[in-house]
Copies of this chain bind each other. A is one copy, B any other.
Amino acid sequence: MSGQLAVVGLGAGDARWLTPEAQAALAAADALYGYGPYLDRVPSRPAQTRHPSDNREEGERAAAALRHAADGARVALVSGGDPGVFAMAAAVCAEIEAGPDAWRTLDVVIVPGVTAMLAVAARLGAPLGHDFCALSLSDNLKPWERIEQRLDAAAGAGFVIALYNPTSRARPWQLGAAFDRLRRKLPASTPVIFGRAVGRTDEAIAVTTLAEADPAAADMATLVIVGSPETRVIARPGRAPLVYTPRAAQGVTA
């Protein structure tokens, strides 16, 4: 009996973004692992065991899923959004690198998904329509100075910036510090998007400016996008504004 570990992206917050590949991987699994609220999004099937775990235990959860697959089971380890973006796929790779030789011969499949920045951007137009970066504001696993250096580099070079993990109870000041840092490099009018719980029933999307951006408007379920100096806002009567970053740099025509 040969096991398999599928690391499955559920997409951001809603079954409308669950790909056919992800659906098939979930249906084929003998065992499901994941952070509890993500597992709750997966319909129950008979003869399929469920192993919810806490948010902070990525390495532990990855190792448990690997052990179970190495025993011959078909295991699905679920992630919100895309498992390769600040999520479980890197944790699984790290456990494989550090773990027993048998884990290196295991069949491991990563199932990509619609990550939060794509879902939030889609709600508003195309804020990520040109060069952009994705940056985790969590300083649990990297020094804050490195985050500041990346904010400076990205803003200075004209990248739109998607901020993952902007805040949490244990990290209350980082988003405010990031906005302050970005205000040194970017115009006050730069569009800032707060995308909370995108695709869920409690979704809330707001557009403001870097000058007005209030870090208290974000929580753990929020994805923040900070525009570049080229990002534009189109007012629309009776509709939410569109926010987009043009494909053409200012002054260049096709």
Contact = CB atoms under 8 A, between A and B. Distances in A.
Main SS of the interface on chain A? mixed
Nearest to A234: B97
Nearest to A124: B110
Contacts of A20: 15-18
Contacts of A136: 130-131
Interface stretch (A45-53, A152-160, A209-217): A152-160
A170 interface: no
A152 B236 CA distance: 38
A3 interface: no
Interface string A43-77: 00000000000000011000000000000000000
A123 interface: yes
Interface string A129-151: 11111111000111100100110
A218 interface: no
Given A121-B112, A131-B136, A90 B246 contact: yes
A231 B16 CA distance: 33
Contacts of A188: none
Interface stretch (A28-36, A80-88, A200-208): A80-88
Contacts of A132: 133-134
21 contacts: A17-B20, A19-B114, A58-B247, A59-B254, A83-B122, A83-B126, A84-B126, A86-B130, A89-B244, A90-B130, A90-B245, A97-B232, A97-B242, A105-B237, A105-B238, A112-B118, A112-B121, A112-B122, A113-B114, A132-B134, A141-B254
